[in-house]
């Protein structure tokens, strides 16, 4: 995993696997959200930067986790335009805490 952190660009397949979404959904979101703008090289091959991936994570959070419409997600992203990376870091930390609490809960249930 340390090697992946050194990469500058990720393929659409890597991003789709990382976020568990389809490649077609990524291409659709790319059209709908200007903050997602992967570099395109020969034959239209997309290369996603870390900033693109963070923008996709924010879209994913609003659309998939909070159940917002695309227009609602766009509005929310405009309101929180200040620092989307900070928001995704917070989301990641909260997920880690949730996972840890769920693991503790499973262990407690196992002990009963």
Q: Decide if 86 is inside a domain.
A: no
- Tens of pLDDT, residue by residue over 40-70, are 888 888 999 988 998 898 899 889 988 999 9
Angle subtended at Cα 29 by Cα 28 and Cα 31, rounded to the nearest 5 degrees: 70
What pLDDT is stored for residue 78 in this prediction? 80
pTM to 2 decimals? 0.67
Number of structural domains found in the chain: 1
63 phi/psi in degrees, rounded to 5: -80, -50
Tokens coding 18: 């990382």
Residue 73 vs residues 14, 24, 55, 61: alpha-carbon distances, Å? 24, 19, 11, 9
Q: Decide if 112 is inside a domain.
A: no
Q: Decide if 101 is inside a domain.
A: no
The arithmetic mean of pLDDT across residues 60-87, rounded, is: 81
Distance CA(58)–CA(84), nearest Å, equals 7
**CATH code, domain carrying 18:** 1.10.1660.10
* Residues of the domain holding 38: 2-81
């Amino acid at each position: 995993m340390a090697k992946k952190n050194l990469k500058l660009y990720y393929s659409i397949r890597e991003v789709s696997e990382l976020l568990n979404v389809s490649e077609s959904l990524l291409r659709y979101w790319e059209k709908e959200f200007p903050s997602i703008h992967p570099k395109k090289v020969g034959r239209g091959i997309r290369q996603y930067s870390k900033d693109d991936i963070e923008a996709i994570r924010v879209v994913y959070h609003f659309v998939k986790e909070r159940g917002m419409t695309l227009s609602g997600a766009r509005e929310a992203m405009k309101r929180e335009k200040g620092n989307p990376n900070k928001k995704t870091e917070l989301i990641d930390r909260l997920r880690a805490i949730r996972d840890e609490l769920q693991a503790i809960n499973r262990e407690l249930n196992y002990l009963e």
